């Protein structure tokens, strides 16, 4: 619909997603945001319930410290974004209401860093949490409407890229062109309800996580040379049941 | 017709019940689900859906009066083309009293409606926030015809209610809340779809029945709809435990 903003364009300009290096991908997502948005630094951390907290990449020592502070204080924008799955936007950390949300974190940030604005965007696909993208700026102020749109779109795209790495059946997406065609093109329906419904059905059929269920559907689509959406529709219409011994 | 007089108690009940859902830490999806249910009852619609825009202006289904596959298909189609998109972009209601005459305007949508043969007229009412629109309330009727002005006004009141629900009282202090809440509603919806799949597979249900079971369990246990959905999709809640019979009377007779 609307055109991509500069951050999303910068992210796509990097071409396809190869291999299994999620740190390199985290770096690419952060750098695209720094390039395209009015922010000073960025980091991506993984903080799911099952996985240990871990910063995948941070653009500079301030971004790194922001992540460390949240981990050790166990509160902050990024922690909240991870826990609730909702974006958390703090245009001015010095403002009273924001301080009240995380009193310890807000005072630690103002004492130890020059950060004044913080935007935490969860990278997720349904219940699958792929990390949190933290953006910061040393000057206070909200993101403009077009920047917000761009930031969310880059986060969406980044989440899909990370999801792709985790569920890749093997080398289908090696070029930018392939990435768009096979995975991110909205007309292919990754946002269609059937994909999510089928994910829920397959995770019960196989007794696995949502991410694993998606990986199995993608592998099947790949081996049968079909679209993921078609496979999902077969699952929902009960024409296809996944079992352990399936490819 | 004395429709408006007989409708009054129903309207008050709906507004009280919706206001009741706007307590601390409420579940947006649950609130929108109730609101869509009331829209059908109060406006004598045969189906209704509520679509919200993501930051790129792309519409997504957030709640529907039935999770029946045919209706879901029409709603998903309308995210791309149809009265809802036009209503959202123009920020004004779009009335289509006779869909069969609208094929030039929305060829794919009208073809899909014709194929299903279930609906003859469509009305879309914007969810407005200041000078912007954040989504649209979509009403579908089996018979052709315009919506009386009075119904249109009531529909707009329900749409405004949805907007208020999305904003929540915190928005008065923080303008960021709208953006945060819209994203939350959209991502909760994905989790609801995953949970419907879990129940559909576990209990051999249709997606519509799966949603009713999910909603019935959440309401019977006074839990947030999206939290129950999350627990199911993360396999932290045994689907077998949600098979308590759903009480649909709650919606018609709240409190």
Distance from CA of A53 to the nearest CA of B (A): 19
- Give CA torsion, residues B107, B113, B116, B117, to 10 deg: -110
Chain A CB within 8 Å of residue B179 CB: yes
For residue B139, the cross-strand partners are: B48, B123
Chain B CB within 8 Å of residue A206 CB: no
Compute the 3-state secondary structure of chain B and give helix, strand, coil in percent, each to the nearest 5: 60, 15, 30
Q: How far apart are CA A75 and CA B165, in angstroms?
A: 27
The token duo for B100 is 């069969």
pLDDT in tens, B154-193: 999 899 888 887 776 445 445 566 677 778 888 888 999 9
A175 lies in a domain? no
Chain B CB within 8 Å of residue A91 CB: yes
Q: What CATH number does domain B3-174 carry, 3.30.450.40, 2.40.160.40, 3.90.550.10, 3.50.50.60?
A: 3.30.450.40
Model pTM above 0.80: no
Chain A CB within 8 Å of residue B198 CB: yes
Chain B CB within 8 Å of residue A236 CB: yes
Q: Where are the beta strands (DSSP E) in A38-116?
A: 41-46, 54-58, 88-90
* pLDDT in single tens digits along all 247 residues of chain A: 457 899 988 988 877 676 667 899 999 999 999 999 999 999 999 876 555 678 999 999 999 999 999 888 888 888 888 888 888 889 998 887 777 788 889 889 999 999 999 999 999 888 888 889 999 999 999 998 889 889 988 998 888 888 887 777 665 444 444 555 555 555 455 678 899 999 999 999 999 999 899 889 988 887 888 888 899 999 999 999 999 877 5
A243 lies in a domain? no
Contact A179, A17 (CB under 8 A): yes
Give me the mean pLDDT over the B89-115 stretch: 93
Query: How many alpha carbons fall within 13 Å on the CB side of residue A169?
Result: 18
Contact between chains at A203 and B198 (C-beta distance less than 8 A): yes
A242 lies in a domain? no
**What contacts B240, CB < 8 A, 6 or more positions away?**
B202
Q: What is the pLDDT of residue B30?
A: 85
Residue A87: which of B72, B174, B183 has the nearest Cβ? B183
Distance from CA of B73 to the nearest CA of A (A): 9
C-alpha distances in Å from residue B29, one per residue of A144, B21, B180:
27, 11, 14
Nearest C-alpha neighbor of A230 from the set A240, A242, A244: A240
The domains of chain B are located at 3-174, 188-252
Q: What CATH number does domain B188-252 carry, 2.70.98, 1.10.10, 1.10.3470, 2.60.120?
A: 1.10.10
Judging contacts by C-beta atoms under 8 Å, the chain B residues touching residue A147 are: none
Residues A122 and A200 in one domain: no
Highest-scoring range by mean pLDDT, A96-110, B53-67, B109-123: B109-123
What is this model's ipTM? 0.76
How buried is B250 (Cβ within 10 angstroms: 0-12 exposed, 13-18 middle, 19+ buried)? middle
For residue B122, the cross-strand partners are: B96, B140
Q: How far apart are CA A116 and CA B241, in angstroms?
A: 47
Q: What is the pLDDT of residue B242?
A: 92
Judging contacts by C-beta atoms under 8 Å, the chain B residues touching residue A202 are: 197, 201
Chain B CB within 8 Å of residue A85 CB: yes
C-alpha distances in Å from residue A99, one per residue of A75, A115, A122:
12, 13, 21
User: Is B141 strand, coil or helix?
Assistant: strand
**What domain range is A93 assigned to?**
6-167
User: Is A4 strand, coil or helix?
Assistant: coil
Residues A161 and A191 in one domain: no
Q: How many domains does chain A have?
A: 2
Q: How far apart are CA B193 and CA B241, in angstroms?
A: 19
Q: How far apart are CA B109 and CA B99, in angstroms?
A: 9
Residues A109 and A189 in one domain: no
Residues A51 and A122 in one domain: yes
- The CATH number of the domain holding residue A221 is 1.10.10
Contact B198, A201 (CB under 8 A): yes
Q: What is the pLDDT of residue B15?
A: 75
User: What number of C-beta contacts closer than 8 Å exist between A and B?
Assistant: 109
Residues A34 and A68 in one domain: yes
Residues A120 and A226 in one domain: no
């Amino acid at each position: 619909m609307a055109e991509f903003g500069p951050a999303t364009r910068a992210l796509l300009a990097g071409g396809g997603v190869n291999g299994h290096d999620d740190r390199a991908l985290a770096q690419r997502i952060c750098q695209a945001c720094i390039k395209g948005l009015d922010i000073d630094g960025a980091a991506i951390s993984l903080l799911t319930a099952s996985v240990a907290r871990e910063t995948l990449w941070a653009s500079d020592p301030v971004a790194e410290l922001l992540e460390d502070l949240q981990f050790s204080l166990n509160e902050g924008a990024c922690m909240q974004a991870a826990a609730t799955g909702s974006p958390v936007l703090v245009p001015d950390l010095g403002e009273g209401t924001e301080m009240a949300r995380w009193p310890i974190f807000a005072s630690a940030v103002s004492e130890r860093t020059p950060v004044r604005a913080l935007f935490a965007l969860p990278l997720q696909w349904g219940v699958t949490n792929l990390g949190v993208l933290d953006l910061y700026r040393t000057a206070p102020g909200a993101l403009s409407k077009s920047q917000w749109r761009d930031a969310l779109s880059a986060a969406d795209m980044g989440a899909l890229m990370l999801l792709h790495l985790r569920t890749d059946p093997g080398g289908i997406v090696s070029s930018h062109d392939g990435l768009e065609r096979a995975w991110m093109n909205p007309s292919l329906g990754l946002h269609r309800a059937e994909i999510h419904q089928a994910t829920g059905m397959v995770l019960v059929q196989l007794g696995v996580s949502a991410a694993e269920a998606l990986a199995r559907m993608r592998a099947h689509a790949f081996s049968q040379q079909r679209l993921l959406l078609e496979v999902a529709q077969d699952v929902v219409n009960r024409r296809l049941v996944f079992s352990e011994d399936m490819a | 017709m004395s429709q408006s007089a007989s409708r009054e108690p129903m309207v008050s009940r709906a507004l009280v019940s919706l206001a009741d859902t706007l307590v601390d830490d409420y579940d947006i999806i649950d609130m929108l689900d109730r609101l869509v249910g009331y829209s059908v009852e109060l406006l004598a619609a045969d189906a209704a859906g509520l679509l919200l825009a993501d930051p790129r202006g792309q519409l997504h289904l957030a709640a529907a009066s039935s999770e029946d596959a045919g209706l879901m298909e029409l709603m998903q189609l309308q995210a791309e083309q149809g009265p809802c998109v036009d209503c959202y972009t123009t920020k004004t209601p779009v009335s289509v009293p006779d869909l069969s005459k609208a094929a030039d305007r929305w060829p794919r949508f009208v073809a899909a409606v014709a194929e299903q043969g279930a609906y003859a007229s469509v009305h879309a009412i914007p969810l407005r926030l200041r000078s912007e629109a954040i989504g649209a309330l979509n009403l579908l009727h089996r018979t052709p015809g315009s919506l009386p002005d009075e119904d249109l006004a009531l529909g707009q009141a329900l749409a405004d209610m949805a907007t208020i629900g999305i904003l929540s009282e915190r928005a008065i202090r923080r303008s960021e809340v709208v953006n945060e809440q819209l994203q939350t509603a959209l991502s909760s919806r994905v989790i609801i779809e995953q949970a419907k799949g879990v129940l559909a597979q576990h209990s051999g249900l249709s997606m519509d029945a799966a949603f009713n079971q999910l909603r019935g369990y959440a309401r019977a246990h006074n839990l947030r709809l999206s939290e129950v959905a999350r627990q199911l999709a993360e396999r932290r809640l045994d689907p077998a435990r949600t098979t308590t019979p759903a009480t649909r009377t709650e919606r018609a007779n709240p409190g």
